[in-house]
Structure 1
Amino acid sequence: MKRLLPLMAILLPLLTCAQIKYESISSEKLGETRQLKIQLPRNYEENTEKRYPVVVVLDGDYLFEPVAGIVDYYSYWEDVPEMIVVGINQDGIRMDDTAYAENNFLPVGKGAKFFEFIGMELLAQMDQKYRTANFRIIIGHDFTSNFINYYLLKENPIFQGYINLSPDMAPEMPGRITNALNTSETKKWFYLATATDDIPSLKEEIMALDNQLKNVDNKNLNYKFDNFQDATHYSLVGKAIPSAIENMFTIYRPISRKDYNEILLQTSISPSEYLAEKYNSIQELYGLERQISVNDFMAVYNAIEKTKNWEEYKPLYKMANDHYPGTMLGTFFEARYEEETGNPKKAMRIYQNAYGKKNIAFLDSDFMLEKAEAIKKDFGY
């Protein structure tokens, strides 16, 4: 726990902005009450129509705070979606919770009950009490990391994302993981981490598993592996959590400078189609309907101006009108289309008609009227 204090010192102030709740859940499967820590997204109460992915954190007594802090920080900058984070406290009982049989190496006794508790009781209560989306991630460290992969072995896994922090794997688990990911018919995100100063026996097995997973050829698998330099079994946690979360939501992030230069500026690429497909993928992969960000509209706008592919404005202004009705965004794109495709008089009228619409980005009434006046002056209208 002490090894995580530097990371927590940075992240704990962020948690004051999110909603932290401490709850108990009475489990029939376990025959006892378990303690939970739950972080709800900022403005959860105000966004009554919004649904959120769920992150289940085992070893919640020490892993919850770093995970919750990273989720809150990244979602604040819109690099990942806002999420509900639930930590299960396992202080002093994690070995019982993760017990497996010596013959088949599958959950047994308290371990089997804990497996059913998460799958049948915890997630059901989260779905009932909170506005959850159908995208779930589970995180564990050493023994609990091994445990999370038992859900991956089910015919219809209830988790899509698995974050393995230096797993202490049961016999046969590496082969089982490889087979499950190789044959998965639905999208899975699998993250695996070790470090140069990790426990040697664990590191050896993790490196061997990585060699297997690197060769898995399945379009449904998103796999990321990290071997952190000069980190230990405990300090790797602070490095791995942001790496894993960021990787699982790569497509969710705003269009980067790299994407702009390597994709949008290529004349063989339709920037407007790229933008539409990006947000369609977010909905398909994470079950989230997301409004196209103004920054992403601006990235496509700049690409069109740079490549002079004026026809791209036509689908773009329709998308802008759908996502930001009543603003000047779609009006501006439509005017630019008419201006550059031989209809300056029509463009002038569109610029003038923007008066009274809502400002957005750099677009305001003065700017739009100046554009109209410039056309009027150039063509003598």
Structure 2
Amino acid sequence: MIKKLLLFVILNIPLLSFSQTIYETISSEKLDETRELKIQLPRNYEENTEKTYPIMLVLDGDYLFEPMAGNVDYYSYWEDAPEMIVVGINQSRTRMDDAYYEDMNFLPADKGAAFFEFLGMELMTYLDEKYRTANFRVIVGHDYTANFINYYLLKSHPIFDGYINLSPDLAPKMADRISSSLAKSETKKWFYLATGSNDIPGLKENIKNFNNQLAAIDNELVSYKFDDFQHATHYTLVGKAIPSALESMFTVFRPISEKDYNEILLQTSLSPLSFLQDKYESILQLYGIEKQIRVKDFMAIYNAIEKTRRWDDYKGLSKLAYDNYPETMLGTFFEARYEEETGNPKKAMRIYQNAYGQQKIAFLNTDFMLEKAEAIKRDFGY
């Protein structure tokens, strides 16, 4: 029996859904050498041939790639973050040269300038050409490389949208330069900064001063999060910071939360339908992802409409349901509820009956829908 079970598992391993890690080398004209890459593709990347994915670029890939890739896979599995292509660059022997800056103007120079151009002009082009990438990019670094990632923000059109700074070893003038750049940003930017109570003292002091500057920025296009983890060292803070950074960066992407439901959908004058439409339009605009509306989000809006009695919202909600789940009963149910609550019970009854033969979804099935039709028939004597 055990042998048969083992054989079954082995034969079905290719059918299981899991993320893939690929090891590649890329030849760089800028660096005049090859570099090693680790690339984690999302689950079912090969099957979802029409889907595109944001890029998470991880410097210090020798040790940062695995924790970042694992967290991205975990958060995306629960839809708290989008699926992403995670790319790590191994730098164990080159990181000091890669992140080198000049002593006079404190900007990338020599190998540092070449590495800066390699990432922006060669590596990103290579990834865009080889993989299905969306137009949303995040870059991650730790101490020396965390300082380096911020140089991209000094460009007039930064190629990265999100910057995850794990205990950065800030170059002189960097705090002022980045604060000024973010304050003037005309496009959406996400900036994350982390230290710990047991971080390297000199770094921690500079990071806290940097936080004071960033916290004072008045720009609606900048989303900023700072963490100072208690009892965390320069290295252990990484394990705490990565999930915190993902949570803060992808707040809009996550499913409708209990807090959203109680404090926005039930307590404000905002239409539940408008909230749903705005949420998914924001996902498209912010992350470049055209995402199918989650069933659980439809259910949250359904419950909010029932509570607030905003029956007109059912008309638009049914259209969204037909567009997103055309073979199911979802759109039919919302359309019937609209007619039922706006004075057309006979029409509602017929719409409920139309659910026969459609696919069940959530709590909706044929028995439920036909019983709704029968209840109307009894009540009105049709």
TM-score range (shorter-chain normalised) is: over 0.9
Deviation larger for 186-195 or 309-318: 309-318
Is the CA contact (8 Å cut-off) linking 2:99 and 2:112 kept in structure 1?
yes
**1:74 pairs with 2:89:** no
Q: Is the 8 A contact 1:254 1:295 kept in 2?
A: yes
Q: Given that residues 64 and 86 in structure 1 are in contact (C-alpha distance below 8 angstroms), is that contact kept between their aligned partners in structure 2?
A: yes
Name the structure 2 match of 1:322.
323
Does structure 1 retain, via aligned residues, the 8 Å contact 2:166–2:241?
A: yes
The equivalent residue for 1:122 is 123
Q: TM-score, normalised by structure 2?
A: 0.95
Q: What is the SS of the residue equivalent to 1:194?
A: strand
Structure 2 distance, partners of 1:276, 1:322, is 13
Deviation at 1:379?
1.5
SS in 1 for 2:275: helix
For the 8 Å contact 2:225–2:245, the answer to whether it is kept is: yes
2:6 corresponds in structure 1 to none
Equivalent residues of 1:53, 1:135 under 8 A apart: yes
Preserved CA contact (<8 Å) 1:140 1:165: yes
2:304 and 2:18 map into 1 onto residues whose CA distance is: 36
State the match for 1:9 in structure 2. none
Give the match for residue 5 of structure 2: none
What residue in structure 2 maps to residue 54 of structure 1?
55
Contact kept? 2:195, 2:229, Cα under 8 Å: yes
Is 1:85–2:69 an aligned residue pair? no
Contact persistence 1:30–1:117 (CA under 8 A): yes
Describe the superposition over 1:90-141 as per-residue Cα deviations: whole angstroms up to 9, x where unpaired: 0122111111100000011111111111001110100010000110000000
**What letter corresponds to residue 217 of structure 1 in structure 2?**
D
Say which SS state the counterpart of residue 226 (structure 2) adopts: strand
The alpha carbon displacement at 1:315 in A equals 1.1
The whole-number CA distance in structure 1 between the counterparts of 2:123 and 2:268 is 50
* 2:196 aligned with 1:220: no
Distance 1:17 1:132 in 2: 19
- Taking the aligned partners of 2:378 and 2:222, their CA distance within structure 1 comes to 57
- Range that drifts further, 228-237 or 302-311: 302-311
Does the 8 Å contact 1:168/1:202 carry over to 2? yes
Secondary structure of the residue aligned to 1:310 is coil
Report deviation, 1:78: 0.7
**Residue number in structure 2 paired with 1:5:** none
What amino acid is the match of 2:334? F
Q: CA deviation at 1:343?
A: 1.2
Match of 1:346 in 2: 347
Amino acid at match of 1:335: A
- Would the aligned equivalents of 1:134 and 1:286 in 2 still touch at CA under 8 Å? yes
Q: 1:31-50 counterparts in 2 under 5 A?
A: 31-50=32-51
Match of 1:193? Answer: 194
Alpha-carbon shift at residue 266 of structure 1 (Å) = 2.6
Is 1:378 aligned to residue 369 of structure 2?
no
Structure 1 segments unaligned to the other structure (5+ residues): 1-15
Aligned counterparts, 1:259-298, within 5 A: 259-266=260-267, 268-298=269-299
Q: Which letter maps to 2:153? A: L
Kept in 1, the 8 Å contact 2:18–2:44? The answer is: no
CA–CA distance in 2 between the matches of 1:236 and 1:204?
16
State the one-letter code of the partner of 2:262.
N
Measure the CA separation in 2 of the matches of 1:351 and 1:212.
58
**AA matched with 1:305:** E
Moved over 3 A (4+): none
Q: Distance in 2 between matches of 1:58 and 1:254?
A: 30
Pairwise CA RMSD: 0.9
Secondary structure, aligned partner of 1:366: helix
C-alpha separation between the residues in 1 aligned to 2:46 and 2:327?
26
Displacement of 1:210 = 0.5
Aligned pairs (5 A) from 1:130-145: 130-145=131-146
The aligned amino acid for 1:148 is I
Deviations 1:177-220 (A, max 9, x none): 10110111111000000011100000000000100011100111
- 8 Å CA contact 1:267, 1:307 repeated in 2: no
Q: Which amino acid aligns with 2:74?
A: Y
Letter of the 1:360 partner, please give it.
I
Q: Give the equivalent residue in structure 1 for 2:98.
A: 97
Find the aligned partners of 2:160 and 2:219 in 1 and give their Cα distance: 18
1:160 alignment partner in structure 2? 161
Task: Give the paired residue count.
Answer: 366
Distance apart, 1:267 and its partner CA: 5.3
CA contact (8 A) 2:266 2:304 kept: yes
- Give, as a single letter, the amino acid of the residue that structure 2 aligns with 1:121: E
